[in-house]
Amino acid sequence: MKHVLVCLALLAPVAHAAPANDAFDIAVEQTFERYRLPGLAVGVIRDGDIVYTRTLGEREAGGGGKIDNDTLFKIASNSKAMTAGVLARLVDAGRLKWDDPVLKHLPQFRMHDPWVTQQMQVRDLLIHNSGLGLGAGDLMLWPEPNRFTRADIIAGLQHLKPTHSFRADYAYDNLLYVVAGEVAAAAGGASYEELVKRELFEPLGLSRCQVGEWNRTEVGNVAQPHMRTPQGNRVIREDGDIVPNVTSMAAGGIRCSLDDMLAWMRMWLSPDAAPAWLSPVQRKAVWTAHMPMPVSARMRAWDNTHVSAYGYGWRLSDVDGAWKVAHTGTLAGMYSSVILLPDQRTGIVILINGEGEAARTVLGQVLTKHFTDPQSMPTVAYYAGLLDHERAGERAAKPKPDTRHRVPAGARSLDDWTGHYQDPWFGKVALCRDRGQVRFASERSPMLTGTVMRVDTRWLVDWDDESVDAEPWLHFGTASGGVATLTLSHVDPDADFSYDYQNLAFVRTASCYGGR
């Protein structure tokens, strides 16, 4: 860890003049067209000034409402830095300490290992070192909407088995940020949502940002998530008139506009501005390398990266010799990216309301290179080509099974295995006959409802909602005493890790009554 801190501290500032806006326009327009995005908002800040903004597309494809600087986007996991910032404010106020045991603030908190429960500190909630596997328990958060509460998250953690030792390895998680939000609420004497408004939105003037429950009509100008179909972009999981307060808020539920995110970045890039939102001590704590992260082959090849680590809600690395502080955000149909180059006082934000993973990667890379390596003449086509080649190699190495010849499971083909099943943290599911088919239905995650299909000798669930894009294989077994068991695994090896099917262990508790 000392070597990581030294490397980050020794990164030399790299100063380059800001590129002309036409170079940014070209990159933004090419990205928008190449990836057929419904909407896109981009901003760049330099030396405290907004030097570039551009918005393209619509809030809802075909709806005519144009994206502008005030349009609200889901910032997804960029909410984590805001949660960490609120906690840092509470540390400044003396309401908690980073090394406080979590139990001091949440006596009901439990991990699978009692020793880890006792040793887990507030800081550990933020740096992905818990010993849990990648995305463990995320099915209690997504797909939304669901019926899991924050109390369910805290209660469910004790049933999630670790995959490695506490504080030994980095593995990204979301549940512990939900816990962190509840620690903030306990220490701050107000709900997480009220703390975010009081400690963050109001003092920083983030007037459009939304947290908790709010009225879509009154707020207005809200981008909706989209998925790409052969017919074009289609809205998915559209907001109703009242946008609910989601369980995942502290991990990924905040929404903000482009102008809000520019103000957020300006604060971080202007440490001497008065009045100070955070003390120098807490600014340093948030951007300290607390947990080493692996340096990927892409980071080495594209950015000559040597060091990668996680701070409190931020990823830290070096890019072409420049210090980079950044994070991404990913939800169904919504992508965001915040990239800060503190030594250059430069920040980049990208907000997308469609299937934008590749677009976010490519555009973020091109815009960053304009500051860190302008002589390379970065282009969208160049980085898109590299990314396409990389992904083709990944698909060849991990091919997705051919499930095109699937057929619905016969009404009685799974009679030995139908019934009501229970998992300790996910709760109840039903696997029962219905109108000549076998249906899978989750009690607390209603979007996880679908038809069981047969593929040769295997079984998978074809989800009813097209936006639930990770199908599971079903694996049946028998436990001691002859009790039927059910486990799940990904059909697509590249499925999003938040579909953590591998952590489910169902036991049959009852037969299907009234099945047809």
Model confidence at 20, pLDDT cuts 50, 70, 90, reads low
Same domain, 451 and 379: no
Type and span of the H or E element at 316: strand 315-319
Nearest to 134 by CA among 103, 160, 97, 102: 160
Burial of 8 per CB tally in 10 Å (0-12, 13-18, 19+): buried
Same domain, 431 and 317: no
Tell me the three state secondary structure of residue 349. strand
Q: Are 192 and 180 in contact (CB under 8 A)?
A: no
Q: Is the pLDDT of residue 326 over 50?
A: yes
Return all residues near 20 (Cβ < 8 A) that are at least 6 apart: none
- In a 13 Å sphere around the CA of 291, the CA atoms on its Cβ side amount to 23
For residue 91, the enclosing domain spans: 2-391
CATH number of the domain enclosing 441: 2.40.128
User: What's the average model confidence in pLDDT over 318-322?
Assistant: 98
Q: Is the pLDDT of residue 12 over 80?
A: no
Q: Which one of 339, 362, 391 terminates a domain?
A: 391
Model confidence at 411, pLDDT cuts 50, 70, 90, reads confident
Q: How many percent of the chain have pLDDT more than 90?
A: 93
pLDDT at 26 (0 to 100): 97
Tell me the three state secondary structure of residue 476. strand
Prior bond of 19 cis (ω within 30°)? no
Q: Is the pLDDT of residue 436 over 70?
A: yes
Same domain, 357 and 441: no
CA–CA separation, 16 vs 121, rounded Å? 41
397 occurs within a structural domain: no
CATH number of the domain enclosing 219: 3.40.710.10
402 occurs within a structural domain: no
Same domain, 240 and 363: yes
346 occurs within a structural domain: yes
Same domain, 33 and 121: yes
Kindly report, residue by residue over 233-278, the tens digit of the pLDDT: 999 999 999 999 999 999 999 999 999 999 999 999 999 888 999 9
Same domain, 182 and 227: yes
Kindly report, residue by residue over 48-85, the tens digit of the pLDDT: 999 999 999 999 999 889 999 999 999 999 999 999 99
User: What does pTM read for this prediction?
Assistant: 0.94
Kindly report, residue by residue over 95-137, the tens digit of the pLDDT: 999 999 999 999 999 999 999 999 999 999 999 999 999 999 9
102 occurs within a structural domain: yes
Average pLDDT, the chain: 94
396 occurs within a structural domain: no
Q: Is the pLDDT of residue 21 over 90?
A: no
Q: Is the pLDDT of residue 407 over 90?
A: yes
Same domain, 37 and 168: yes
Q: Which one of 356, 391, 426 terminates a domain?
A: 391
399 occurs within a structural domain: no
Kindly report, residue by residue over 347-378, the tens digit of the pLDDT: 999 999 999 999 999 999 999 999 999 999 99
Kindly report, residue by residue over 446-480, the tens digit of the pLDDT: 999 999 999 999 999 999 999 999 999 999 999 98
Q: Is the pLDDT of residue 17 over 90?
A: no
CA–CA separation, 303 vs 514, rounded Å? 60
User: No. of H helices and E strands in the chain?
Assistant: 16, 23
Q: Which amino acid is at 132?
A: L
Same domain, 380 and 493: no
Query: Residue 307 carries which DSSP code?
Result: -
Kindly report, residue by residue over 180-212, the tens digit of the pLDDT: 999 999 999 999 999 999 999 999 999 999 999
Could you tell me the sign of the dihedral formed by the alpha carbons of 248, 178, 496, 425, in that order? Answer: negative
* Total count of domains within the chain: 2
Same domain, 386 and 447: no
398 occurs within a structural domain: no
305 occurs within a structural domain: yes
Q: Which one of 391, 422, 442 terminates a domain?
A: 391
Same domain, 173 and 230: yes
- In a 13 Å sphere around the CA of 285, the CA atoms on its Cβ side amount to 19
Query: Residue 218 carries which DSSP code?
Result: H
Same domain, 93 and 190: yes
Same domain, 127 and 183: yes
